[in-house]
């Protein structure tokens, strides 16, 4: 009954970040801001046939992975769900979330061991942020709400971005809206309104020793400290050869590295601003052997591209929705040597990998990247190779 109080043990963390325990009737209960090993008193707020949701009333006995959250708005701000967990407890939980998605949801098991690349720092790592301004207040969205959570700073931001946020707080722009902060080379910060006004300046990033122009609103990987490592892992996994096909290329985070390893290639990107940055960045790197196609990676566009491209490697980095059955099915039919699939949502990655698996591909490597410390988000790189024919 909603409102009822229960006492239970938290056994694990769910993909959304909530702690998971079992009520006296054996039903699963999700409780935000709890940790594995906690004994907690919980007030039920929602009941369904197969699970319930509760809010933490009090901590009876803390689990071993608990730490004191450093941020004064932790619990109210929608940005972080895991500041109450040690770095080790967070990593263990992300590994379990990824393995569970691939083995249970995607039914891909047994899989190779999952390596995890930790973030060099658990705070001060973010190289981009979206800040909301509402009538003189500055902050992020509240948890499970569109309302503003006003902040004085954010411990996740790289120091130059946190300083820029503090300047916005001290002198907020008039009206209401969203602002994007991105950290460029030498700690420069580009601050732009969203959607970006015409002529808003780009920022220069240095990624794996290459310069990258990125216009306002164009995707930038969030963890500035892991970016070089991520790029080298993705590019090395792709190998080398005559041609690559890249989908979701953005401004060219991986494309510049791929261009150095392949004699030719096609990079597909749907955003006009990102595709324009990508063309600029390839041109500045002298990589005119790579063709940019500005299009949604649909089955029809892919067929067009593949009429005169025989890729040795395919590199994918889709948004949370994944690539989808149709496109994954078409890619699975290619005679490529490997598919390198980077994903920010383990559940949609599992679904896409199942399509490749059915098409005769084996997952030969899975690496997790700790791109988002203090949150349950998991970035995963899966490498697939053709199943040897019996
Ligand atoms: C996760 S970001 C990755 C960008 C780039 N790989 C990087 O690391 O900077 C996904 C990119 O895919 C693009 N995108 C989204 N849907 C797409 C689609 N259906 N076809 C092609 N590109 C798409 C987005 O504009 C975005 O640039």
- Summarised one tens digit per residue, pLDDT across range 7-59 is 999 999 999 999 999 999 899 999 999 999 999 999 999 999 999 999 999 99
Q: Return the ligand 1 atom nearest residue 268 CA.
A: 21
CA–CA distance, 314 with 275 (Å, rounded to integer): 18
- For residue 283, give the DSSP letter: H
- What's the pTM value of the predicted model, to 2 decimals? 0.95
* Strand 379-386, strand 338-343: pairing: antiparallel
Most ligand 1 atoms within 8 A of CB, residue of 219, 265, 275, 301 to mutate? 219
CA–centroid distance, 248 to ligand 1, in Å, is 3
- Which is nearest to 200 in space by CA: 212, 179, 216, 177? 216
Residue with tokens 């705070």: 123
What are the residues whose beta carbons fall under 8 Å from the beta carbon of 121, sequence distance 6 or more?
225, 373
326 Cβ closer than 6 Å to some ligand 1 atom: no
- For residue 328, give the DSSP letter: H
Query: Which phi and psi (to 5°) does residue 193 adopt?
Result: -70, 155
CA–CA distance, 333 with 55 (Å, rounded to integer): 48
274 Cβ closer than 6 Å to some ligand 1 atom: yes
140 Cβ closer than 6 Å to some ligand 1 atom: no
Q: Is the peptide bond before 110 cis (omega within 30 degrees of 0)?
A: yes
Judge whether 71 and 80 are in contact, CB under 8 Å: yes
Q: Return the ligand 1 atom nearest residue 220 CA.
A: 9
CA–centroid distance, 318 to ligand 1, in Å, is 5
The β-bridge partners of 247 are 268, 316
State the pLDDT confidence band at 108, using cuts at 50, 70 and 90: confident
Residues 317-342 have a mean pLDDT of 97
CA–CA distance, 290 with 258 (Å, rounded to integer): 9
CA–CA distance, 127 with 24 (Å, rounded to integer): 45
Most ligand 1 atoms within 8 A of CB, residue of 270, 296, 325, 372 to mutate? 270
Which tokens belong to 200? Answer: 């808003």
Q: What is the pLDDT of residues 331-363, one digit of tens each?
A: 999 999 999 999 999 999 999 999 999 999 999
CA–CA distance, 230 with 253 (Å, rounded to integer): 10
275 Cβ closer than 6 Å to some ligand 1 atom: no
Q: What is the pLDDT of residues 158-182, one digit of tens each?
A: 999 999 999 999 999 999 999 999 9
State the pLDDT confidence band at 387, using cuts at 50, 70 and 90: confident
Q: Return the ligand 1 atom nearest residue 298 CA.
A: 19
Judge whether 8 and 21 are in contact, CB under 8 Å: yes
Helices 325-332, 299-306: axis angle to 10 degrees equals 20
CB environment 259-278: b (16+ within 10 A), e (fewer): bebbeebbbbbbbebbbbbb
The DSSP annotation for 191-238 comes to: EEEESPPTTPPPEEEEETTEEEEE-TTS---SBTTTHHHHHHHHHHHH
Would residue 77 show up in a list of annotated catalytic residues for this protein?
A: no
Percent of the chain scored above 90 by pLDDT?
94
User: Which one from 71, 80, 149, 344 is the annotated catalytic residue?
Assistant: 344
Q: Please count the other Cβ atoms lying within 10 Å of the Cβ belonging to residue 152.
A: 13
- Which is nearest to 381 in space by CA: 370, 363, 362, 366? 366
């Amino acid at each position: 009954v909603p409102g009822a109080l229960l006492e239970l043990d938290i056994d694990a963390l769910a993909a959304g970040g909530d702690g998971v325990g079992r009520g006296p009737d054996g039903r699963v209960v999700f409780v935000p801001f709890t940790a594995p090993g906690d004994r907690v008193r919980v007030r039920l707020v929602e009941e369904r046939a197969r699970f319930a949701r509760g809010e933490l009333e009090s901590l009876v006995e803390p689990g071993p992975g608990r730490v004191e959250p450093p941020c004064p708005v932790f619990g109210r701000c929608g940005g972080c769900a895991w500041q109450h967990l040690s770095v080790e407890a967070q990593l263990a939980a992300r590994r379990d979330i990824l393995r569970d998605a691939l083995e249970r949801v995607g039914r891909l098991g047994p899989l190779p061991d999952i390596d995890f690349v930790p973030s060099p720092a658990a705070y001060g790592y973010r190289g981009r942020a979206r800040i909301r301004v509402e009538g003189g207040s500055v902050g992020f969205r509240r948890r499970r709400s569109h309302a503003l959570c006003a902040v004085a700073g954010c411990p996740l931001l790289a120091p130059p971005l946190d300083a820029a946020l503090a300047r916005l707080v001290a002198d907020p722009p008039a009206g209401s809206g969203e602002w994007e902060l991105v950290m460029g080379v030498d700690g420069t910060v580009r601050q732009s309104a969203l959607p970006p006004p015409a002529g808003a300046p780009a920022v220069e990033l240095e990624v794996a020793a290459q310069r990258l122009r990125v216009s306002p609103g164009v995707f930038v990987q969030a963890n500035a400290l892991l970016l070089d490592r991520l790029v080298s892992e993705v590019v090395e996994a792709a190998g080398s050869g005559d041609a690559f096909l890249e989908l979701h290329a953005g401004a060219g985070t991986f494309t510049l590295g791929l261009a150095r390893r392949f004699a030719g290639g096609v990079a597909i990107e749907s955003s006009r601003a990102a595709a324009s940055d990508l063309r600029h960045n390839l041109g500045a790197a002298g990589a005119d052997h790579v063709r940019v196609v500005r299009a949604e990676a649909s089955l029809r566009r892919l067929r067009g591209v593949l009429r005169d491209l025989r890729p040795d490697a395919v590199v994918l980095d889709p948004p949370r929705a994944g690539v989808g059955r149709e496109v994954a099915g078409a890619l699975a039919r290619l005679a490529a040597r490997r598919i390198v699939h980077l994903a920010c949502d383990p559940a949609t990655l599992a679904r896409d990998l199942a399509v490749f698996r059915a098409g005769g591909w084996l997952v030969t490597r899975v690496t997790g990247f700790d791109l988002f410390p203090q949150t349950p988000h998991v970035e995963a790189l899966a490498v697939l190779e053709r199943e040897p024919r019996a």
